[in-house]
Amino acid sequence: MFDNNYNNPYNTETRSLSTKVSAVMKRVYFKMTLGLLVSAFIALWCSESPVYWNFLSGNSWAVWVLLIVEIGLVIAITGAIRRLSSAAATGLFYLFAAVNGLALAPIFIVYTSHSIAVTFFVTAGTFAAMSIYGFFTSNDLSKMGSILFMALIGLIIASVVNIFLHSDTMMWIITFAGVIIFVGLTAWDTQQIKNMAIQMDTASVGKLATIGALNLYLDFINLFLYLLRIFGNRD
């Protein structure tokens, strides 16, 4: 009886899907982690570079250029993923991580190293818990994803408005809302990646791993930045 169950086509297919999903998720987390390391290394290096700070101080427009380049790279990766090779998509992702590292450099000047480290570990623990939940939960998170997407648009609009209002109250509302939104998006994105891995053919695994790594990277970075507003120490 045991042998019959083991050789059952349904069981074989289930094991095959499980193996494929596991392989995809490992690649996603590997690429994401490597992207975070690239960003952290460049941010730390730039924070200690007088040349970099002199350039930023004399060229305030550079921050906006970095932001535009980041947005352009995200659009390029997500919009052209079907036309790009797996290697090209991966290269663009790491380029994005490097550019984001340039943009993140100021946090090492604004906040203490200890508070950055504490916030990183809080972010890592929260991210891991929600990603595990998103992977293993049997609940369909699709509806939650739609709500979170609308909330994210509202968050972006509120953030732009507060640039001109300079309201501390609105800043804290945006901060806590951002934490909630990206905690939820971590679970939702993980489930989406898992579902796509089940349906996608083997030839597209590399591209899926890159898109998945990009989405989870963005969830992690944004969650980290919002938590840094709460736990960050400027002394």
DSSP 97-136: HHHHHHHHTTHHHHS-HHHHHHHHHHHHHHHHHHHHHHHH
Each residue's pLDDT tens digit, 192-210: 999 999 888 776 888 999 9
| Pairwise pLDDT comparison (176 vs 20), residue with the higher score | 176
pLDDT at 114 over 70: yes
According to the model, what pLDDT value does residue 2 have? Answer: 46
Q: What is the mean pLDDT of residues 44-52?
A: 93
pLDDT of residue 14: 65
Q: What percent of the chain has pLDDT over 70?
A: 92
The token duo for 172 is 């804290």
Longest alpha-carbon distance in the chain:
76
Say whether pLDDT at 211 is over 50.
yes
* 70-99 b/e (C-beta count within 10 Å ≥ 16 → b): beebbebbeeebeebebebbbebbbbbbbb
CA distances from 181 to 72, 121, 152, 188 (A): 23, 19, 7, 10
Q: Which of 210, 204, 183, 12 is nearest to 93 (CA)?
A: 210
* Predicted structure pTM score: 0.91
pLDDT reported for residue 58: 85
pLDDT at residue 225 above 50?
yes
Instruction: Put residue 140 in one of left, alpha, beta given phi > 0 → left and psi -120 to 50 → alpha.
Output: beta
Distance of CA 185 to the CA centre of its chain: 9
pLDDT of residue 216: 98
pLDDT score for 235: 66
Inter-axis angle of helices 205-231 and 61-79, nearest 10: 150
Reported as a pLDDT band with limits 50, 70 and 90, residue 1 is: very low
pLDDT, residue 227, reads 97
Contact call for residues 89 and 210 (beta carbons, < 8 A): yes
How many residues are given for the chain? 235
What is the token pair recorded at 231?
Answer: 């736990």
pLDDT of 40: 96
Of 208 and 57, more confident = 208
Mean pLDDT of all residues in the chain?
A: 91
Q: Which residues of 135-174 are buried (b: 16+ CB within 10 A; e: fewer)?
A: eeeeeebeeebeebeebbeebeebeeebeeeeeeeeeeeb
The percent of residues above 90 in pLDDT, for the chain, comes to: 77
Q: 60 pLDDT band (50/70/90 cuts)? A: confident
Is the backbone of residue 166 left (phi > 0), alpha (psi -120 to 50) or beta? left
| Two tokens, residue 11 | 């069981």
